[in-house]
Structure 1
Amino acid sequence: MSRISADSKGVYIIAVTPFKDDGAIDTASVDRMVDFYFDKGTDGLTILGIMGEAPKLTQQESIAITKQVLARSAGRPVIVGVSAPGLAAIGELTKAVMDLGAAGVMVAPPGSLRTDDQIIGYYRNVVATIGEDVPFVLQDFPLVTGVQISPRTIGAIIEALPSMVMLKHEDWPGLDKISELRAAEAAGRRRISILCGNGGVFLPEEMARGADGAMTGFAFPEMMVNVCKLAGAGNLDRAQDIFDAYLPLARFEQQPGLGLAVRKYVLEKRGVISSQAQRRPGAALGTKAVAEVDRLLLRLEKRLAELA
């Protein structure tokens, strides 16, 4: 199993966790989902993230899902979210998944961090816990974590901790943050990979600012794959045309508190998972919302036919 590095690029899709209607893990859908993501051209997977309902899983379930996904991925890179309130849990899960062959781990800051020194100190403690040989992703998602991490603080972490090889960039607004980080690299600082989240709704602009790809879970991964490839080849106009076709659905999926329900509904409609069920607590789509998503899917199909 290859490990992530500062040169990792492309789409590392944030995978959902499929459940049956009774809340049990749907192992058949896990295999089908892994196949679907790679068939659509993704470069890797990221499992047990925030939108993967990781806090609703036991440690044993997290390890079991990781083992299954790694086996199905057949050597292709899988990043595992290991964020937890305590360092002991992070260390235990990291050891388990890296022993199984994970490509790296992702760690979000706990909401208790307030100052730059606290944030830098926290990630020093993370590395001391998981080991300097484990490549990790810093998840910068202040809209959910409540932790604001400035480019200067990210830079201090990059310089202090060589095993921080990737930033999952989900600040909003955050385009200037990408530019500032890349400018520092142009001035001589160590390079890191930057993959972007937020449902992909800023992906063309993020790629133009110097991002390496996407790490988010939009239900049409082929959109992100195509946009990243086209943007990487310098064909920004065509990338924008493809992106614009999907934007109404991506926008609808981006609703706070409802986004995962939309994503799972679409994945169920696409035959990827057997049920849109979430473990409690979780939002559900009402009748009107379902009709709105169905309308957007029909319009997307029509627009893609026009673009083809």
Structure 2
Amino acid sequence: MALISRTTRGVYAIAPTPFLPDGAVDLESLRRLVDFYVDAGVDGLTLLGQMGEAPKLTHAEAVEIVATVLARTDLPVVVGVSAPGFSSMKALTDEVMALGAAGVMIGPPHTLRTDDQIVGYYSAAGQALGADVPIVVQDYPLTFSVVMSVPVLARIARETPSVVMLKHEDWPGLEKISALRAAQAAEEAPRLSILCGNGGLFLDLEMRRGADGAMTGYCFPELLVDVVALAAEGRAGEAHDLFDAHLPLIRYEQQPGTGLAVRKHILMRRGLLRSDTQRSPQRSLSPDERAEIDLLLNRLSHHDERARLP
């Protein structure tokens, strides 16, 4: 399995963790999801992220999920290994890398406050995991309450060579992408691969600013693949038009606290999940929310046949 690098590009779909109604991990649906992502044309997969309900899994379940996916596909797989301490982080990292993972993703603990603390944390993580383990830095201040400036990211990239990718989820963040690419062009910072999250909410503009692709879990990953491909081909107008058609549903799915319920519900409607169950504590959709999803899918289907669901 190829490792991710500072030149990695494309769409890495974040896979949700399927559960049966009783809360058990649903490996059958997971395999079906993997086949779907491959058919959709994604370039890689990301497991055990926030939308993968990683904190609700046991260590054994996390390893089983990664092993199941890696046995199903040759796509590069990034695994979220964020943990309170480096010992548990390293234990999971060692197992998934031995299975064939392409790299790991680490979000910063909310206790980090200064620039030196942030840089020092990723330096220590790189040392703990080993120089041969590629690391994705997850920059998501809305969730982690840790703000990483462009100079801080440049320092991390210089001081920890195993950090090869930024999962960009700062908001607003378009200027940040431009500043990172400008620093790279001026040789003030090493190049990092930049894959963007936030449900794809700004993907069309992020590609214009110099992003390399997406790492997110929108329920129509085909849209992410199309937008990235059209942008790479210089067909920006077509990318914007297709993206605009999906934007109301992307926006609805990106609601904090509700988004995973929306995403799992639609993936179930698409025939990929047997159940839209989340592990407790969970958020269920109300009848009004389900009706709004029907409305959004119906409107989207006028522009994209893939949204015409049972």
TM range (shorter): over 0.9
Offset at residue 192 of structure 1 (A): 1.2
Cα RMSD (Å) = 1.0
1:213: which partner in 2? 213
1:56: which partner in 2? 56
The separation in 1 between residues aligned to 2:23 and 2:85, in whole angstroms, is 26
* Structure 1 segment 58-207 matched on structure 2, within 5 A: 58-73=58-73, 75-188=74-187, 189-207=189-207
Offset at residue 304 of structure 1 (A): 2.0
Offset at residue 149 of structure 1 (A): 0.7
The separation in 2 between residues aligned to 1:121 and 1:166, in whole angstroms, is 17
The separation in 1 between residues aligned to 2:60 and 2:298, in whole angstroms, is 40
1:226 aligns with 2:207: no
| Identical counterparts, % of pairs | 57
The amino acid of 1:282's aligned partner reads Q
Offset at residue 303 of structure 1 (A): 1.8
- For residues 52-94 of structure 1, the C-alpha deviation after alignment (integer angstroms, 9 at most, x for no partner) is 0000001110001000010111x21000000011111111100
The separation in 2 between residues aligned to 1:152 and 1:58, in whole angstroms, is 36
The separation in 1 between residues aligned to 2:303 and 2:132, in whole angstroms, is 47
TM-score by length of 2: 0.97
1:287 aligns with 2:287: yes
* Other structure's SS at 1:234 match: coil
The amino acid of 2:213's aligned partner reads G
Offset at residue 125 of structure 1 (A): 0.9
The separation in 2 between residues aligned to 1:302 and 1:173, in whole angstroms, is 30
* Other structure's SS at 2:304 match: helix
- Runs of 5+ unmatched residues, structure 1: none
1:47: which partner in 2? 47
Offset at residue 233 of structure 1 (A): 1.0
Offset at residue 7 of structure 1 (A): 1.0
2:269: which partner in 1? 269
The amino acid of 2:197's aligned partner reads G
**Which stretches of structure 1, 4 residues or more, deviate above 6 A after TM superposition?**
none
The separation in 1 between residues aligned to 2:224 and 2:16, in whole angstroms, is 16
* Other structure's SS at 1:42 match: coil
The amino acid of 1:165's aligned partner reads V
The separation in 2 between residues aligned to 1:174 and 1:89, in whole angstroms, is 31
The separation in 1 between residues aligned to 2:140 and 2:178, in whole angstroms, is 17
The separation in 2 between residues aligned to 1:150 and 1:191, in whole angstroms, is 15
The separation in 1 between residues aligned to 2:25 and 2:82, in whole angstroms, is 20
Aligned residues: 305
1:297: which partner in 2? 297
2:7: which partner in 1? 7
Offset at residue 287 of structure 1 (A): 0.3
Offset at residue 128 of structure 1 (A): 1.1
* Other structure's SS at 1:303 match: coil
The separation in 1 between residues aligned to 2:50 and 2:175, in whole angstroms, is 24
The amino acid of 1:190's aligned partner reads P
The amino acid of 2:217's aligned partner reads G
The separation in 1 between residues aligned to 2:303 and 2:288, in whole angstroms, is 23
The separation in 1 between residues aligned to 2:233 and 2:192, in whole angstroms, is 20
* Other structure's SS at 2:303 match: helix
1:28: which partner in 2? 28
2:308: which partner in 1? none
* Other structure's SS at 2:28 match: helix
